[in-house]
Amino acid sequence: MSGLNESVVHGSKATAKNLPSVDKLLRHAAVAACVAEQGHTLVSQEARLLLDARRAQTLAGELSLTEVALDTLATDLQARVAQRLAPRLKTVINLTGTVIHTNLGRALLADEALQHVLAMMSGPNNLEYDLATGQRGDRDSVVEELLCTLTGAEAATVVNNNAAAVLLSIAALASEHTGRREVIVSRGELVEIGGAFRMPDVMASAGATMVEVGTTNRTHPADYERAMNERTALVMKVHTSNYQVQGFTAAVSEADLAPLCHARGIPLVSDLGSGALVDMARWGLPREPLPQEMLQAGCDVVTFSGDKLLGGPQAGLLVGSRKAIGRIRKFPMKRALRMSKLPLAALEATLRLYLRPERLTQDLPTLRLLTRPLADIEATAMAVQPALAAAVAPRYTVRRLALQGQIGSGSLPVERLASVGLALAPVERKGVGRALDALATALRSLPEPVIGRVADDELLLDCRCLESPESLLRQFSELSACIKSS
Ligand SMILES: *Cc1c(COP(=O)(O)O)cnc(C)c1O
């Protein structure tokens, strides 16, 4: 503000009369350059909104003359335009210690999957075109053969997510024209997955009549048998993926249930949730039931997720008998739940990785992170610690410690993954809660937000998912400035 005495300018309040018109603001050199680049529509719209906001502030006596100066408003306007154009969806640095984090986008896609998506989305493709005959094809055929090879199923189909797969299975097999609407399920398996996905509600949405059998902790074969009748559409088994019942418990396995169902011509459906396609025990991870085992046990349909342990895109996979999958595929709801070409390409590429299981821990990020050697995680923590300590000093201290992570927030809740991380603690013991909130907020407001977790008066940063610390280290000067100003 050349020629003006700053203190005088700061001291006097601006009124609405001090504000320029939209046109005048748009003629400012920097704004005109912005219009040339981004177009008149966006910039003039933001100029109007900015001046409206500033007018309200001047009426409340909140603004100084400097704040309504043309140069200041031009700078504010450019910031507004940039902010409006900035993506809302952005990558974050997951230091929560949970590898498959439902709120942070779940599984990370493999390079092969990313490249296949990019290649397939850049032009037309044979999504529903049979290149052998030149006739219309079926998009399921992109992944059906792979799924059958990997699980031993006769047939397979895919939808948008596993919730849709469960809903569709029930709706198709217990549909009105079958005359059979009852779905038998154990009281020990009436799960809530999160959000509005609760088994009783899903049954109701699918138009089925739920028939609960057994008790919360114990269900026996005779419980199922007593409930089976000519109205039974299917028997449903649900893998309790986000909780465990311990102690005096009994459940009927798919292998024991299948003969009871088949003797009466009733299909058996199993919702596996996570559905790893390989035995995780070979890498020292907790064992999850496999779709191929469920099919061998006699299930007619097995459903599982694409973006949990499988490590692919959001998808609901259904494998099973030709008859049951055929009915599901022909059910009208399938068309409404069908997968789009974008995740379908990612799913195909991800499934192909499973043809080479020995390479999975390199090729599949989810498995790579789950099997990451502790020494590696510790080395990352050590590499980050000094720079982090410098960035948050003198308000916070940083120490390295052993942590217990999780495989997924919605799957395998009980098992813990030994890990290493950094704990940040406020030096001033008064107002610890506020100091930790300020730190967590500062980390979240970085250009690539950093997400940790708070426990026992410390902010914990688990280093398992930090494979290359560069993007974190690069942001430490910004973090330091943010902490100092808070
Ligand atoms: C996660 C889960 C679902 C839902 O799968 P989405 O792919 O998230 O839709 C359904 N059933 C079980 C048992 C699950 O664990």
Q: What is the pLDDT of residues 362-383, one digit of tens each?
A: 999 999 999 999 999 999 999 9
DSSP 3-state of 367: helix
Ligand 1 pocket test: which of 101, 102, 193 has the largest number of ligand atoms within 8 Å of its C-beta? 193
Q: Are 274 and 316 in contact, with CB atoms under 8 Å apart? A: no
Give me the torsion for CA of 97, 101, 105, 110, rounded to 10°. Answer: 70
Q: Is the CB of 239 under 6 A from ligand 1?
A: yes
CA–CA distance, 71 with 28 (Å, rounded to integer)? 8
Site to substitute for ligand 1 among 305, 309, 414, most atoms within 8 A of C-beta: 305
**Could you tell me if the CB of 317 is within 6 A of ligand 1?**
no
Ligand 1, from 100, 197, 198, 347: best to mutate by most atoms within 8 Å of Cβ? 197
Does ligand 1 have an atom closer than 6 angstroms to the CB of 305?
Answer: yes
- Please answer whether residues 77 and 31 qualify as being in contact, where contact means their C-beta atoms are separated by less than 8 angstroms: yes
Q: What is the 3-state secondary structure (H, E, C) of 265-283?
A: CCCEEEEEECCCCCCHHHH
Among protein residues, the one with the nearest Cα to ligand 1's atom 6 is 162
The CA distance from 308 to 107, in Å, is 6
Using CB atoms within 10 Å of the CB of residue 394, give its burial: 0 to 12 exposed, 13 to 18 middle, 19+ buried: exposed
**Measured between alpha carbons, how far is 437 from 97 in angstroms, rounded to an integer?**
19
Ligand 1 center to residue 308 CA distance, Å? Answer: 9
Continuous segment of H or E residues that includes residue 48 = helix 40-59
Find the 311 Cα to ligand 1 centroid distance in Å: 14
Burial 171-192 (b: 16+ CB within 10 A, else e): bbbbbeeeebbbbbbbebbbbe
**What dihedral do alpha carbons 172, 208, 305, 291 form, nearest 10°?**
-70
DSSP state of 301: E
- Closest to 165 in 3D by CA, of 358, 366, 325: 325
pLDDT given for residue 4 in this prediction? 45
- Residue 272 CA: nearest ligand 1 atom is 13
Cα 238 to ligand 1 centroid, rounded to whole Å:
10
DSSP characters over 206-242: TT-EEEEES-SSB--HHHHHHH--TTEEEEEEE--TT
DSSP 8-state symbol, 405: E
As given in the structure block, the two tokens for residue 466 are: 């930090």
Q: What is the pLDDT of residues 457-480, one digit of tens each?
A: 999 999 999 999 999 999 999 999
Distance, in Å, from the CA atom of 422 to the CA atom of 450, rounded to the nearest integer, reads: 13
Buried b (16+ CB within 10 A) or exposed e, 348-381: bbbbbbbeebeebbebbbbbbbbbbeeeebbebb
161 Cβ closer than 6 Å to some ligand 1 atom: yes
The whole-angstrom separation of Cα 44 and Cα 132 is 54
CB contact set of 82 (below 8 Å; sequence gap of 6+): none
CA of 113 relative to ligand 1 center, distance in Å: 22
Give 458's contacts (C-beta < 8 A, 6+ positions apart). Answer: 423, 424, 425, 436
| Nearest by Cα to 81 from 29, 44, 51 | 44
Residue nearest to atom 1 of ligand 1 (CA): 273
In 56-201, at which residue ranges do the beta strands (DSSP E only) sit? 93-94, 98-100, 129-130, 135-136, 155-159, 182-186, 192-194, 197-198
| Per-residue confidence in pLDDT tens, the chain, 486 aa | 444 444 444 558 999 999 999 999 999 999 999 999 999 999 999 999 999 999 999 999 999 999 999 999 999 999 999 999 999 999 999 999 999 999 999 999 999 999 999 999 999 999 999 999 999 999 999 999 999 999 999 999 999 999 999 999 999 999 877 789 999 999 999 988 877 789 999 999 999 999 999 999 999 999 999 999 999 999 999 998 888 888 999 999 999 999 999 999 999 999 999 889 999 999 999 889 999 999 999 999 999 999 999 999 999 999 999 999 999 999 999 999 999 999 999 999 999 999 999 999 999 999 999 999 999 999 999 999 999 999 999 999 999 999 999 998 655 666 789 999 999 999 998 999 999 999 999 999 999 999 999 998 999 999 999 999 999 999 999 999 999 887
Q: Which atom of ligand 1 is nearest to the CA of 274?
A: 15
DSSP, collapsed to helix, strand or coil, labels residue 421 as: strand
Ligand 1 and 166: CB distance under 6 A: yes
| Distance from residue 396's CA to the centre of ligand 1 (Å) | 40
Single-letter residue type at 113: A
Report the Cα 54 to chain-centroid distance in Å: 39
User: Which is nearest to 171 in space by CA: 188, 183, 155, 185?
Assistant: 183
The Å distance, Cα 199 to ligand 1 centre, comes to 11
> CA dist 190 to 186, 203, 216, 308, Å?
7, 10, 9, 20
- pTM here is 0.92
Distance 271 CA to ligand 1 centre (A): 8
